[in-house]
Amino acid sequence: MQQQTEVRSGELFAALSLALDLGTGEPLEHALRTCLIALELADRLDLPAAERRDVYHLALLHSIGCTADSPEAASKYGDDIALRAEAAPADTARPRELIPFIWRATGGNLRRFTVVLAAGPKGAAAGLRAHCEVGERLAAMLSLPESVQHALWFTFERFDGKGFPRRKAGDEIPRVARVVHVARDLHVLATRRSAAEAESTIAARSGAAYDPGVARHAAGALAALPTDSVWDAVAHAPEAGGPLRREALDRACRATAYFADLKSTHTLEHSTGVAELAEAAGWRLGLDEDDAAALRRAGLLHDLGRVGVSTAVWDRPGKLSESDWERVRLHPYYTQRALARAESLGDLVRTAAAHHERLDGSGYPSGAAAAALPVHARVMAAADAFTAMCETRAHRPALGAERAADELERDARAGRLDPEAVAAVLAAAGQRSKPVQRERPAGLTEREVEVLRLIARGASNKVAAQQLGLSPKTVGHHVQHVYSKIGVSTRAGAALFAMEHDLLRET
């Protein structure tokens, strides 16, 4: 495998933005084009260099929290991706747009429509708060400036104070966010209608959704987009910053893993588990330090394409329909397509995207056979399969390590998985050890950690109480204490904290 000791930050952020497009139901390159439109507006406003840098990052990654409430959104609306696509062009402060939007977003399901309508603004605020909270924390892991981390809290605010989740207005909203609001919606509206109608709508919403001082510069901004590669203009922009190396690169890959794993409460810590197991197996196969590190990073990136499939599919308890199964089979392809244009990621992309390929050609998405699958891809496939089997899924309970090992060895004997890779993965898994006691982060007690695990995976207070033998009221008190100690206010924020501190895979 080509050794990636550094990755251009602009390429990684641009690649991540393509995954955000998949997760929000926008056409690919939406975030790239939003970024260039925002920079054009920044030029017209004569913003200083520091603000231009923040505009670049905020515009490119404004949807970095989009997986935060995917389980809740899919449960409530039926399809979290369709919801975001429907919400993007709507002026939800206007009842005549809000009601039709809710009806479309709930798929015309009267029960869901009634539930969402009854929840009112508080229901919307909870989901958007999760977006912002998780976005801020992931931005920190991506080494983005504190000013960008802060601005992510204003992604869904409005100039007139009718946005969410903090109801801020006017100059209370950072100027970079006000620029991105116009740039984002200008492109969203243009993709649904036309450039002329998009500009007209921006002008009509000026003073309400948008800062008039920014909105007046929207005319002609779409025409300023480059006619050649939008990718090159963004990925190699001077505002992107320097390359990501060593620890900063590892943190960025880990942030990508958390972003993907938040897609379902069943996949929390899946990518980090695969990464650790693959790296450990790589050492056992004699890989050098750089190759083992590359294998770990590929493991962290491997499930990025998962965000392109609705959580309603991932969390379906019964058997998948043929069409849903085809969507699932596309997720490694989405990983590959999102990351492939980042040249500095090199072989990491090919390894990451091959985690469901099999030696006999029976895997997906490409049906690649043994000759096309180097050792790193073989290890990744075995590590992913073993980790997934040891985890609970909506359609089955966790198999347990012993049965998962039997299944893995069966696939090796049948020629689907590489026997040496399987042996290395199982050896690595068998040598895991856990200390009898450990100091918990943020002063959490053992009981609070137990509550955190259940809440992070979507359990209600009542369900958590039943599993722990407590009253729902007592669990509620524990939840309040946990949120206070770890500094979050949403389930997604708690789940991200739990993943950051490796609290979910313990028994």
pLDDT recorded at residue 506: 61
**Long-range contacts, stretch 164-169, CB < 8 angstroms, 24+ apart:** 164/121, 164/124, 164/125, 164/128, 164/129, 165/125, 165/126, 165/128, 165/129, 165/132
pLDDT recorded at residue 124: 87
> At 123, is the pLDDT very low, low, confident or very high (cuts 50, 70, 90)?
confident
Nearest to 301 by CA among 365, 254, 248, 364: 254
Quote the CA–CA distance of 107 and 117 in Å, as a whole number.
14
The model's pTM: 0.93
pLDDT tens digit string along 1-32?
Answer: 655 678 999 999 999 999 999 999 999 999 99
- Rounded to the nearest 10 degrees, what angle do helices 270-284 and 246-261 cross at? 130
In this prediction, residues 143-147 reach a mean pLDDT of 97
pLDDT tens digit string along 84-111?
Answer: 999 999 998 998 999 999 999 999 999 9
Partners of residue 396 on adjacent β-strands: 393
| pLDDT at position 436 over 60 | no
Quote the CA–CA distance of 100 and 93 in Å, as a whole number.
12
The CATH superfamily label for domain 244-430 reads Hypothetical protein af1432 (1.10.3210.10)
Quote the CA–CA distance of 438 and 425 in Å, as a whole number.
26
**Pick among 2.40.50.100, 3.90.1300.10, 1.10.3210.10, 1.20.120.1200: CATH of 6-235:** 1.10.3210.10
Lowest mean pLDDT among 120-129, 133-142, 421-430, 442-451: 120-129
In this prediction, residues 347-353 reach a mean pLDDT of 95
Nearest to 40 by CA among 193, 206, 230, 169: 230
> At 433, is the pLDDT very low, low, confident or very high (cuts 50, 70, 90)?
very low
> Average pLDDT, whole number, for the chain?
94
pLDDT recorded at residue 439: 80
pLDDT recorded at residue 505: 76
Tokens matching residue 462: 């009542």
In this prediction, residues 297-302 reach a mean pLDDT of 98
**Residue burial 455-486, b: 16+ Cβ < 10 Å; e: rest:** bbbbbebeebbeebebeeebbbebbebbbebb
pLDDT recorded at residue 389: 97
pLDDT tens digit string along 149-160?
Answer: 999 999 999 999
CATH 1.10.10.10, the chain: domain bounds? 441-500
| pLDDT at position 434 over 60 | no
In this prediction, residues 146-151 reach a mean pLDDT of 98
φ/ψ of 396, rounded to 5, equals -160, 155
CATH 1.10.3210.10, the chain: domain bounds? 6-235, 244-430
Q: Percentage of the chain with pLDDT > 90?
A: 92
Burial of 436 (0-12, 13-18, 19+ CB in 10 A): exposed
| CA 235 from centre of chain | 20
* The domain made up of 441-500 is a member of CATH 1.10.287.110: no
| CA 347 from centre of chain | 22
Residues 6 or more apart whose Cβ sits within 8 Å of residue 286: none
Other C-beta atoms lying within 10 Å of the C-beta of residue 74: 23
| pLDDT at position 435 over 60 | no
| pLDDT at position 59 over 60 | yes
| pLDDT at position 220 over 60 | yes
φ/ψ of 459, rounded to 5, equals -70, 140
Lowest mean pLDDT among 34-43, 103-112, 197-206, 260-269: 103-112
Partners of residue 210 on adjacent β-strands: 206
Asked whether 58 and 177 are in contact (CB, 8 A), the reply is: yes
Nearest to 496 by CA among 66, 62, 133: 133
Asked whether 473 and 464 are in contact (CB, 8 A), the reply is: no
Quote the CA–CA distance of 402 and 426 in Å, as a whole number.
10
pLDDT recorded at residue 42: 98
pLDDT recorded at residue 453: 95
Partners of residue 3 on adjacent β-strands: none
pLDDT recorded at residue 438: 61
Tokens matching residue 358: 């099999």
CA distances 92 to 26, 158, 205, Å, are: 18, 11, 12
pLDDT recorded at residue 3: 58
